Chains A and B, each alone.
Chain A
């Protein structure tokens, strides 16, 4: 996964915002990255571009040896399905669906499993994040930490190589934060690449590399 001179410019009425400017970086598999920076520094912009939720204005983004700008919407959807798992700060669970059904969402479009296998897999994923007793619960019956774990289980459903999380612990207390980071850390043992945006210093204890961003530029790397 590599970004080459990537810029994102938001055009407002009478000004242009350089949310990300000339950003270049190569992310490696089997590593956990922490992305830090002030509010408005461009962290979300970076991770959204990485997660194919929006397109860069300039520059090239190579994922799986493929140039993203040359892919059509079907191929992009395919990458989002099989290669990337995305975790949002606000979880983005479907309120009308149970934990299990939420985890089923990405599995439903998976062509290689039968429906029964999909349900078994969803149950296993929820068991892995410690929610075996919460399978039939709706999001509003779950705590914030539990919701985020459902979201993580969902992000992992199709066994993606890359996990992206934008302030996954932003709405959680310290204890839950640790649980979430712990779970994300486990994934790099399977050779995955994990990138986590976080304000919190706790991330320093988990990440292999910390990227510091300011005004859309990479300013520091540890």
Chain B
């Protein structure tokens, strides 16, 4: 029987009450499953992203041994010689510098990028070009958005006791202003940043502003989501970065930075940061540092509670839902099939073979499932996009991986589809073994 003939047979019964209820239940189950899968994959992918980024996961701060008060170049060499340590340096490398890029200015916002040093141990996901850059070169995001992505609508609620700030995120990313990083490759970006200015306390005026200008040639682009970088985060060489950060006015004002600058200039450190080649080598390096009597502290500790909650709970929910779905599919189908034996009897008496009837039944189920899936996914995507735009706008800018977990959803789609086909086929085949008359009598 051809597919359109199967549809002809189905068209009168596909939207009967039974199937509508079935579809509704599937929609709800699938929706909950999508949610838990999303929570799970978001957490997982962000965990992976963290371990790729220097500031998270595989960064360790090292302090002098207790009897010593400074770390010297000798110490740095010793630490550097530990296996799996890719980078050792002052804490001044932690962070970044904001630079203006006037040539990219837009009417709605001035262009500003945030540059960070490309330290050993950082693994960027390069889209074009490679990760080795020399002085004067730069890697920028492939999805490049060097603008104000959201504005805070500051509201101050005056309370007798305290002043509370309420942030309302207003603006979103203006799509047309997005820059494709690939288009910038080979181009020189002129950047500037303030190195000093005079500030008049009485009038609040800034005068005598001095800038430092520097050109960077874009040699590559990278995928920000992989390392949870912002859409305006660019990477430059260590040397370039050091020059910038030592001259940057914004950094000068802070005592903490002054300390770091001083340490860097004298090559005597209160603490240094190290970056490992891979996250899995954390334990090994901890042991080695212990042996060398250094005091250390991980930059970021993975919260085991969070991990448990965000990984196992959704996984558990997913499994439960699959079990419930099996149960519901089984019960619904066996009930439906019971009510349909007289129809099977009729079809068989007319000369339909079992296979044709089975295929037709499966087709009905698959259509119901597809409809449920499409409805559920549409609702889910709508909610997801709304949630992302309204509540997670900040994270979007920060490059957090907020994507619909397509792979997981695809897998679930196939699993449930197979279950549906197997269960339905088993139930129908069992009934069809009987002779036409036996089938007829069950109804009469």
Complex CA gap A53/B356 in Å reads: 18
Q: Given known contacts A96-B12, A101-B12, is B435 in contact with A77 (CB within 8 Å)?
A: no
A80 near B349 (CB under 8 angstroms)?
yes
- Find out whether the CB atom of B12 lies under 8 angstroms from the CB atom of A51: no
User: B349 to A108, Cβ gap below 8 A?
Assistant: no
- List residues of chain A with CB within 8 A of the CB of B2: 115
Q: How far is the CA of A53 from the CA of B439 in the complex (A)?
A: 10
A73 pairs with B354, CB closer than 8 A: yes
Report chain A residues within 8 Å CB of B8: 101, 104, 108
Which among B16, B342, B436 is the interface contact of A53 at CB below 8 angstroms? B436
Selected contact of A48 from candidates B5, B346, B352, B437, CB within 8 Å:
B437
Q: Quick one: which of B9, B342, B345, B435 contacts A55, CB cutoff 8 A?
A: B435
Bound Cα distance from A115 to B3, whole angstroms: 11
A residues 92-113 with Cβ under 8 Å of B? 92, 94, 96-97, 101, 104-106, 108-109
**A53 and B346 form a contact (CB under 8 A):** no
B416 within 8 A of A: no
Check if B347 is an interface residue, CB within 8 A of chain A: yes
Whether A81 pairs with B13 at a CB distance below 8 angstroms is no
Contact of A154 among B13, B350, B435 (CB under 8 A): B350
Taking a contact as CB atoms under 8 Å apart, the answer to whether A105 and B353 are in contact is no
CB of B415, distance to nearest CB on chain A (Å): 32
Bound Cα distance A53, B436 (Å): 5
Q: Are A108 and B437 in contact (CB under 8 A)?
A: no
Contact present for B438 and A77 (CB under 8 Å): no
Q: Is the CB of A158 within 8 A of B351?
A: yes
Contact check, B351 vs A74: say whether CB atoms are below 8 A apart: no
Determine the residue in chain A with the shortest Cβ distance to B1. Answer: A109
Report B-chain residues with C-beta under 8 Å of the C-beta of A183: none
**A176-B125 Cα distance, complex, nearest whole Å:** 82
Is B154 among interface residues, defined by CB-CB distance under 8 A? no
CB distance from A57 to the nearest CB of B (A): 12
| Interface residue range, chain B | 20 to 34
- Does residue B105 face the partner (Cβ distance < 8 Å to A)? no
Chain A, range 38-52, C-beta contacts under 8 Å to B: 48, 51-52
- A104, B347: Cα distance in complex, Å: 11
Query: Judging by beta carbons under 8 Å apart, are A92 and B349 in contact?
Result: yes
Chain A: which residue is nearest B434 at the CB level?
A54
Q: Which of A48, A53, A77, A94 contacts B343 (CB 8 A)?
A: A94
B172 at the interface (CB under 8 A from A): no
Whole-angstrom CA separation of A52 from B350 in the bound complex: 11
The reply to whether A86 and B349 form a contact with Cβ atoms under 8 Å apart is yes
**B348 interface contact, C-beta 8 A:** yes
* Residue B4 at the chain A interface, CB threshold 8 Å: yes
Contact partners of A182 in chain B: CB under 8 A: none
Q: Are B5 and A51 in touch, CB under 8 angstroms?
A: no
Chain A residue with the shortest CB-CB distance to B13: A96
Contact A115 B4 (CB under 8 A): yes
Residues of B within 8 A of A202 (CB): none
> Are A53 and B437 in touch, CB under 8 angstroms?
yes
A115 touches B350 (CB 8 A): no
A82 at the interface (CB under 8 A from B): yes
Q: Which B residues touch A54, using CB under 8 A?
A: 435-438
Q: Does A78 contact B (CB under 8 A)?
A: yes
Chain A residue numbers with a CB within 8 Å of B436 are 52-54
Task: Check if A80 sits within 8 Å of B348, measured CB to CB.
Answer: yes
10 A-B pairs whose Cβ atoms sit less than 8 Å apart in the complex:
A53-B436, A53-B440, A80-B348, A80-B349, A86-B350, A92-B349, A96-B16, A108-B1, A109-B5, A109-B352
Known: A80-B351, A88-B349, A94-B12. 13 other contacts (CB 8 A): A51-B349, A53-B349, A53-B435, A54-B436, A73-B353, A77-B354, A82-B351, A84-B351, A92-B342, A92-B349, A94-B346, A105-B350, A158-B351
